[in-house]
Amino acid sequence: MKSPFPKARLLEILEASHQATRAFIEKEGEKILSLVTTTWECFVRGGKLLIFGNGGSAADAQHLAAELVNRFRRERSPLPALALTTDTSILTAIGNDYDFELIFVKQIEALGRPGDIALGISTSGRSANVIRALSRARELDLYTVGLGGGDGGRLPEVCDLVLLVPSNETPRIQEGHLLFLHLFAELLEEACFGETA
């Protein structure tokens, strides 16, 4: 069956994605490089990276943790990263016994230590459980990072560093986030273990 869409439609979407991701790197590139250095220093001190978000952002949290704990482009030792989105017993217990807005807060309280990094991912910057967790992480002296889009929502209120894809369209923001995950993993791997041959 012939598609009702011309190939030009695919290229139109690709171009919109390319423009958003390029603008993201041009706008936030220096901050991304700074975060790589900050994370490397955190790991050298024995700290860890705690990552969280909802829906597609939960998948991004798990994706990044997997790239760091396992490997990205080279064989090397695991890096200490943990997605707070994966333990269904913890998530459902907290959501049931307390409130869904606390599912990340309580994990930050249990696992976070001063000097660790808390990376909250929210395309809108308004996810209540992400904002509350970042706020609590800051109170506990973790370095707080928000990955979002558009105007950032409430992320600037609770984060030491905010990375925003300059778009208001969720798919374009998420594509920027995926690019960030791979850039961050690759550069962090190089910072920790040297450049690949």
Average pLDDT over residues 178-196: 93
Convert the pLDDT of each residue in 163-184 to its tens digit: 999 999 999 999 999 999 999 9
Average pLDDT, stretch 52-61? Answer: 98
- Residue 5: what pLDDT? 76
pLDDT at 4: 77
Q: What is the pLDDT of residue 6?
A: 83
The number of residues making up the chain comes to 197
3 is in an annotated binding site: no
Above 80 in pLDDT, residue 2? no
Work out the pLDDT band at 196, boundaries 50, 70, 90. low
Say if residue 124 carries a ligand binding annotation.
yes
**Structural tokens at position 148:** 């979002």
State yes or no: pLDDT of 102 exceeds 90: yes
Q: Is 53 annotated as a binding residue?
A: no
18 is in an annotated binding site: no
Binding residue per annotation — 96?
A: yes
The answer to the question of whether 29 is labelled as a binding residue is no
Mean pLDDT of 81-102: 98
Is 92 annotated among the ligand-binding residues? Answer: no
Q: Check the annotation: does 123 bind a ligand.
A: yes
129 is in an annotated binding site: no
Confidence of residue 110 (pLDDT cuts 50, 70, 90): very high
pTM of the model: 0.95
Mean pLDDT of the chain: 96
In the chain, the percentage of residues whose pLDDT exceeds 90 is 93
DSSP of 108-167? HHHH--TT-EEEEE-SSS--HHHHHHHHHHHHTT-EEEEEEETT-TTHHHH-SEEEEES-
Neighbour tally for 120: CB within 10 Å: 32
Whether the predicted pLDDT of 195 surpasses 90: no
Q: Is 5 exposed, middle or buried (0-12, 13-18, 19+ CB in 10 A)?
A: exposed
Closest CA to 74 of 184, 193, 180, 179: 193
Cα distance from N-terminal residue to C-terminal residue, the chain: 47
Q: What is the mean pLDDT of residues 128-137?
A: 98
Domain boundaries, the chain: 26-192
Homologous superfamily (CATH) of 26-192 is Glucose-6-phosphate isomerase like protein; domain 1 (3.40.50.10490)
Residue 7 has what pLDDT?
Answer: 84
